[in-house]
Amino acid sequence: MIRVMVVDDSALVRKIATDILSADPEITVAATAANAEFAIAKLDRERPDVITLDLEMPGMGGLEAIRRIMSVRPTPIIVMSAHAQKGADFTLQALEAGAVDFVLKPSNSLSGGIPAIARELTEKVRDAARIVMAPPTSLSIPHEAQAEAALAEAERAATPSAPVAAPPFDGEGCDLVAIGTSTGGPVALKMVLTQLPGDFPVGIVVVQHMPPVFTKAFADRLDSVCAMRVKEAESGDPILPGRVLIAPGNWHITVTRFGVEPKVALNQSDPVNGHRPSVDVLMRSVAREYGSRAVGVIMTGMGKDGAEGLRELYARGGRVIAQDKNTSVIYGMNKEVVQNGNAHEVVPVDQIAFRLRAHARGGSAARSAI
């Protein structure tokens, strides 16, 4: 049984959230709290597996509450707040502080929007309950020599995932990097992208499962801390060296090399694997257009989105990098790729940027891992 604590200053929200979660036979609401102080006081006694938390409360605010909970009893936290829709940046800060996911309250009346969020909230609580929390650690950005040593150790410990018959990666660099991720992705992407230089020689296209209201705020937030330029993609945007294009929420993104310069295109065809944007949609287009001249990266997230697209990229000679289990919030999407035998490299999140730099420049570091 999954034990949940619901924290919100609204009695109505607490009741509705309790009713939603209690309807699932595998979930019980072990406790509720009207503010963060009460919630923290109940942690040791109630020992919840998951906490749903409002960000905008009197007294201790949501961000401080997340930090305090992570310091005294790390617990998966799902942000559930009306403030999130008008303050996407606030919710992104909550994810950086330690929250694992978020659910938007409906924009008009909460009670009228319950059917729209009930399934999502229940599914995200189930997913969060699988996460094994640990006290937060600071993953420092490694110097290149340290990165090479850490990578060598990771490769010695890893089980090779590439069959002997796999098409070889040419080792001469790449023309595009494509990244897919979901739960835990905002923090993981920030770590990867902030380690890349502003003159990174190829463009990067990203699918992060995220609602429309958040993707622009997420791109803007990354742009403010990265040396590379980061923007929410628009259809027709050119793929340029030193630039990252983030798929907008509710839009699939594909790449094309037709014409004068490579570009991205957006469409609203049916969701794939329950997602729009879908990592599979992106990776299939990358496989068709770039083949062996692309590197695909799959990171933390629940489910299997990206597995089939990366299978195709792998078969066409592209390089596939998967984030390892130990640094993933949820080892799901990346696990699927690894278990399928379609990952050439399985590395910690703080080594992914180093590998991308190696492949993009086509140096000896890239060839040594092949």
Which segment of 116-130, 208-222, 278-292, 356-370 scores lowest on mean pLDDT? 356-370
pLDDT tens sequence across 123-154? 999 999 999 887 544 444 344 444 444 444 44
Please tell me which residue, 107 or 126, carries the higher pLDDT value: 126
Please choose, from the candidates 74, 327, 89, 286, the residue with its C-alpha nearest in 3D space to the C-alpha of residue 192. Answer: 327
Query: What's the confidence (pLDDT) of residue 85?
Result: 60
Q: How is 209-247 classified by DSSP, letter by letter?
A: ---HHHHHHHHHHHHHH-SSEEEE--TT-B--TTEEEEP
State mean pLDDT over 82-87. Answer: 65
Q: Which residues of 237-250 are buried (b: 16+ CB within 10 A; e: fewer)?
A: bebeebbbbbbbbb
For the cut 70, the answer to whether the pLDDT of residue 172 exceeds it is no
The mean of the pLDDT values for the chain is 86
Per-residue pLDDT, 213: 81
pLDDT at 113: 61
* Single-letter amino acid code for the residue at 147: A
Token duo for residue 271: 């969701």
**pLDDT-derived band at 117, boundaries 50, 70, 90:** confident
> So which residues are the catalytic ones?
182, 209, 305
Beta bridge mates, 7: 33, 53
Domain layout of the chain by residue ranges: 2-129, 144-368
Q: What percent of the chain has pLDDT over 90?
A: 73
Give me the pLDDT at residue 89, please. 84
pLDDT above 80: residue 363: no
- Three-state DSSP class for residue 200: coil
pTM: 0.86
Contact 188, 323 (CB under 8 A): yes
Mean pLDDT confidence for 196-213: 95
Please tell me the distance from the alpha carbon of residue 57 to that of residue 70, in angstroms, as a whole number.
18
Residue 44 has which token pair?
A: 């040791």
Per residue in 221-268, pLDDT tens?
999 999 999 999 999 999 999 999 999 999 999 999 877 789 999 999
d(Cα 256, Cα 369) in Å, to the nearest integer?
Answer: 29
Q: Which of 361, 366, 316 is nearest to 342 (CA)?
A: 316
Kindly tell me if the per-residue pLDDT of 340 is higher than 80.
yes
The DSSP line for 244-294 is EEEPPTT-EEEEE--SSS-EEEEE-PPPBTTBSS-HHHHHHHHHHHTGGGE
Amino acid at 313: L
- Using the predicted structure, report yes or no on whether residue 168 has a pLDDT greater than 80: no
**Does the pLDDT of residue 52 top 50, yes or no?**
yes
| For residues 47-67, average pLDDT | 94
The per-residue DSSP string of 77-143 comes to: EEEEETHHHH-HHHHHHHHHHT--EEEEPPSS-TGGGHHHHHHHHHHHHHHHHT---------PPPP
DSSP result, 22-49: HTSTTEEEEEEESSHHHHHHHHHHH--S
The count of residues in the chain is 370
The whole-number average pLDDT for the span 108-126 is 76
Rounded to whole angstroms, the Cα distance separating 258 from 92 reads 36
Domain 144-368 grouped into CATH 3.90.180.10: no
Residue 115 confidence class, pLDDT cut points 50, 70, 90: confident
Residue 367 reports pLDDT greater than 70: no
Query: What is the chain's alpha carbon radius of gyration, rounded to the nearest angstrom?
Result: 21
In order of 91, 224, 298, 357, the CA distances from 148 in angstroms are: 35, 28, 21, 12
The per-residue pLDDT for 161 is 38
pLDDT of residue 84: 61
Domains 2-129 and 144-368 share a fold: yes
* Contact by Cβ (8 Å): 154, 348: yes
**370, 169 in Cβ contact below 8 A?**
yes
Q: CATH for 2-129? A: 3.40.50.2300
